[in-house]
Amino acid sequence: MDLKTASAIRRLRLISVPEGVSWIILATCTVIKYTVASGFDAAPVLGPIHGVLFVLYVVFWADAWNRAKWAKGKAALYFAYSIIPGGGFVIERALRREAEDAVIAARARKEGAVNA
């Protein structure tokens, strides 16, 4: 994995958690707004914040997909998880494991342990 690909995946990892948190908070505030008879309405503030984070996620996802040459199914899965509240945590964990596996494979190739 080259440096630009690793950077693209790292950017996607870094934005996936805040995007997931903002989605959960926005969904929770919306449920509170419509279930509790109070004047609580955080959507005008949280909506644009989540919107910006989601747009950044999509841009970073497209960059990572382009650089890492993921299969269409894998790329679609990473995008689909961004639509599910809390899916950003799943994506971050999968990308972290993928990066760790790439580091292990690179070290093994360097040491000549495997021919991968």
Rounded to a whole number of angstroms, the distance between the first and last alpha carbons of the chain is 12
pLDDT tens across 67-110, in order?
999 999 999 999 999 898 888 899 999 999 988 888 788 788 88
* 116 compared with 34, residue with greater pLDDT: 34
Verdict on whether the full-model pTM lies above 0.85: no
64 alpha carbon, distance to own chain's centre: 10
Residue 69 — left, alpha, or beta (φ > 0 → left; ψ -120 to 50 → alpha)? left
pLDDT tens across 57-68, in order?
999 999 999 999
Report whether pLDDT(116) > 60: no
Phi, psi of 70, deg, nearest 5? -65, 155
* CA angle (16, 92, 18) in 5-degree steps: 30
What secondary structure letter does DSSP report for 38? S
